Amino acid sequence: GQQVMQIPQYQHVQEGEDFTTYCNSSTTLSNIQWYKQRPGGHPVFLIQLVKSGEVKKQKRLTFQFGEAKKNSSLHITATQTTDVGTYFCADRSNDYKLSFGAGTTVTVRA
């Protein structure tokens, strides 16, 4: 499977601030999916991006797929305590599996 690199590994955010997590691949991605895992929980699907340059929004979350389909980003505006957790990007390769990035663990200072 393809390797997806995710940065930063940790993100400490002041409540109300914005932050971005990035996902990069050395090869073209088939499609990219984003998941969120709350502490003690399991990954939950957030979004899927398929098209080059695609941008999708979910309230305060903005997901972007690069033009070359080699990178993706998740931008959260006005961070809230409910945003705490680990955000994973994942490539659904051609061979029926998800290849996850290492994740960005987000903590929020009130």
Positions in the binding site for other proteins (CB under 8 A): 1, 30-31, 33, 35, 41-45, 48, 50, 88, 90, 92-103
Q: Cα–Cα distance between 20 and 104 in angstroms, integer?
A: 10
Whether the bond into 8 is cis, omega within 30 of 0: yes
Q: What is the closest distance, in whole angstroms, from the C-beta atom of residue 19 to other proteins in the complex?
A: 20
Of the pair 50, 55, the CB lying nearest other proteins is at 50
Give the three-state DSSP class for 66.
Answer: coil
Of the pair 14, 27, the CB lying nearest other proteins is at 27
